[in-house]
């Protein structure tokens, strides 16, 4: 079906389960959730009938629109791998209504000019709110702090700063960044990778790397930086966010830091919740990622850390790469995997279907907490009357075999190709306007 997309269209969603709870009706109108429950159908009748689309929500779960704290959109500079338009179409298809766009573009997003460009392109595309992440250091060079304040004051209102892809390894610069971002309630999101311990690293250092002869990336290279940074955050009273935490030791350090009252949050990716370094035995570079896939014990610890709240959010680290950068021998291939269109399904399989999570927990880690950490007032909101109609309707009973060729991302480097995963996004609404309608991307104004 083709859904009307004019802003005046109202949507009556019947029999849907908010956060997996008792089925109810939701009326979405004028950009907000206009009514919930018994009032919704009546309120819908009071509106002009021509404007009303009725969505059968039976069997669907309503969640606040998903928020990704960690997306690579590649524009400007690598539009052959992804653009802001294709990346946000991919986001919408995965149920995301906001994505934080990492700064490792070309040019690097280290000035007010570049972050404003990214923000504008996202607004013009219209599929999801694009929240630019500002680089911590000029050109991701690790030598001089970038203009953090100018990026914070720009139209893009940057609050999250990261050199992702590179670690801010100079402790003095890291300290200054943690201090400086306090002035505008910013957060420093660290890619924890001790560079000297990971020179030439190709995969997790352990039994598998030794057996197949690829240079190892030891767990301690991640853990040493996280340990240092939580102590720095404590010392200066700054806000630290640990990106794509991947080892059992990292979970322990973050747990310790939180118990100590340090202002730290952490994210885990879907792939570190599901996949292990055993996959590298295939030498298929689709499994090459930074930080690397770890052991089954690490995966279990990351799941446990997410379940007990040590890890605050799931973030995709959607890292699209052009074919020539992945379809080559392992050591020459780029690090990274796509993830926007599979994240919710992986979280369902690993955390919900296993009994570790309720759907309210899913909303917490994929919407409420990432919105809070990123300082987004209009995302991750309760599903209540008067709140923005920025929601996703998801069918947890559907099953699908992942086919990257059908994805909306411009890149195809999904590690789940051929795998059967649960669930399907049926509708995504951004301020009352569908970006996905009945399982298909909807045309949006400006796109």
Ligand X SMILES: NC(=O)N[C@@H](CC(=O)O)C(=O)O
Cα–chain center distance at 275: 17
348-360 burial by CB neighbour count: b if 16+ within 10 A, else e?
A: bbbbbeeeebebe
Told to judge if 263 belongs to the known catalytic residues of this protein, a careful annotator would answer no
336 is in an annotated binding site: yes
72 contacts 336 by C-beta, under 8 angstroms: yes
The CB-of-411 to ligand X minimum distance in angstroms stands at 10
What is the pattern of x (binds ligand X, CB under 6 A) and - over residues 382-421?
----------------------------------------
72 annotated to a ligand binding site: yes
Residue 70 annotated in ligand binding: yes
Give Cβ neighbours of residue 359 (< 8 Å, ≥ 6 apart). Answer: 17, 19, 20, 21, 61, 63, 352
The interface region with ligand X, picked from 45-53, 123-131, 152-160, 332-340 by CB under 6 A, is 332-340
**Residue 196: burial class (beta carbons within 10 Å; 0-12, 13-18, 19+):** exposed
Query: CB of 82: closest distance to ligand X in angstroms?
Result: 10
Q: Judged by CB under 6 A, which of 336, 339, 404, 423 binds ligand X?
A: 336
Asked if residue 72 binds ligand X (CB under 6 A), the reply is: yes
Site for ligand X in 149-168 (CB under 6 A): 164-165
Number of residues that bind ligand X (CB under 6 A): 12
Structure tokens at 329: 């021998």
Is 164 annotated in a binding site? The answer is yes
Q: Is 140 in the site for ligand X (CB under 6 A)?
A: no
> Residues 71, 340: contact at Cβ < 8 Å?
yes
Interface mask toward ligand X for 301-330; x: CB under 6 A: ----------------x-x-----------
Which range binds ligand X by CB under 6 A, 44-52, 207-215, 255-263, 334-342? 334-342
- Centroid of chain to Cα 76: 19
State which residue, 343 or 391, has the beta carbon closest to ligand X.
Answer: 343
Task: Rank residues 24 and 290 by Cβ distance to ligand X and give the closer one.
Answer: 290
- Marked catalytic residue, from 68, 312, 317, 395: 317
Applying CB under 6 A, which of residues 217, 287, 335, 427 lies at the interface with ligand X? Answer: 335
Q: With respect to ligand X, which residue has the nearer C-beta, 242 or 391?
A: 242
136 binds ligand X (CB under 6 A): no
Q: Which of residues 237-296 bind ligand X (CB under 6 A)?
A: 289-290
Q: Binding residue per annotation — 104?
A: yes
For the CB of residue 335, give the shortest distance to ligand X in the complex, in Å. Answer: 3
Give the x/- contact pattern for ligand X in 167-206, rule: CB under 6 A: ------------------------x---------------
CB-based contacts of 136, cutoff 8 Å, min separation 6: 145, 146, 148, 161, 162, 163, 168, 173, 177, 188
The verdict on whether residue 191 carries a ligand-binding annotation is: yes
Dihedral angle at the C-alpha atoms of 15, 20, 22, 25, nearest 10 degrees? -30
CB of 292 to ligand X, least distance (A): 9
Residue 413 marked as a ligand binder = no
Q: Give yes or no for a contact between 320 and 413, defined as CB atoms under 8 angstroms apart.
A: yes
Identify which of residues 319 and 362 has a Cβ nearer to ligand X in the complex: 319
In the annotated binding site for Zn(2+), the residues are 70, 72, 164, 191, 244, 317
In the annotated binding site for substrate, the residues are 72-74, 104, 290, 321, 335-336
Residues that bind ligand X (CB under 6 A): 72, 104, 164-165, 191, 289-290, 317, 319, 334-336
Which residues are identified as catalytic? 317
């Amino acid at each position: 079906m083709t859904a009307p997309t004019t802003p005046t269209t109202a949507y009556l969603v019947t029999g849907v389960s908010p956060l997996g709870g008792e089925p109810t009706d939701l009326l979405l109108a004028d950009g907000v959730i206009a009514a919930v429950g018994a009032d919704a159908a009546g309120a819908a009748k009071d509106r002009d009938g021509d404007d009303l689309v009725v969505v059968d929500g039976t069997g669907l779960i309503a969640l606040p629109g998903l928020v990704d704290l960690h997306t690579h959109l590649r524009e400007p500079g690598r539009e052959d791998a992804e653009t802001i338009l294709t990346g946000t179409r991919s986001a919408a298809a995965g149920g995301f209504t906001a994505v934080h766009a990492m700064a490792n573009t070309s040019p690097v997003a280290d000035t007010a000019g570049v972050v404003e460009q990214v923000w504008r392109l996202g607004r013009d595309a219209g599929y999801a709110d694009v929240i630019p992440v500002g680089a911590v250091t000029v050109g991701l060079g690790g030598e001089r702090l970038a203009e953090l304040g100018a990026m914070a004051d720009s139209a893009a209102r940057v609050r999250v700063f990261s050199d992702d892809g590179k670690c801010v390894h100079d402790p003095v610069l890291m300290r200054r960044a943690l201090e400086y971002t306090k002035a505008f309630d910013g957060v420093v999101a660290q890619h924890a990778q001790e560079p000297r311990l990971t020179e030439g690293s190709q995969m997790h250092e352990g039994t598998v790397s030794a057996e197949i002869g690829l240079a190892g990336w030891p767990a301690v290279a991640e853990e040493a930086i996280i340990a240092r940074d939580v102590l720095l955050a404590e010392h200066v009273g700054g806000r630290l966010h640990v990106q794509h935490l991947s080892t059992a030791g990292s979970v322990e350090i973050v747990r310790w830091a939180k118990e100590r009252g340090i202002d730290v949050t952490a994210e885990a990716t879907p792939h570190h919740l599901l996949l292990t370094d055993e996959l590298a035995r295939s030498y298929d570079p689709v499994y090459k990622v930074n930080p690397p896939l770890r052991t089954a014990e690490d995966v279990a610890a990351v799941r446990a850390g997410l379940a007990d709240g040590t890890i605050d959010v799931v973030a995709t680290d959607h890292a699209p790469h052009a074919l020539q950068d992945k379809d080559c021998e392992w050591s020459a291939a780029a690090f990274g995997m796509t993830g926007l269109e599979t994240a919710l399904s992986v979280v369902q399989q690993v955390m919900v279907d296993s009994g570790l999570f309720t759907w309210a927990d899913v909303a917490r880690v994929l919407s409420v907490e990432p919105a809070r950490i990123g300082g987004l007032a209009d995302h991750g909101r309760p599903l209540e009357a008067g709140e923005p109609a920025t929601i996703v309707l998801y069918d947890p009973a559907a099953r699908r075999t992942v086919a990257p060729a059908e994805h909306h991302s411009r890149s195809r480097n999904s590690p789940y190709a051929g795998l059967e995963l649960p669930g399907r996004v049926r509708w995504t609404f951004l301020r009352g306007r569908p970006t996905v309608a009945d399982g298909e991307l909807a045309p949006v104004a400006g796109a």
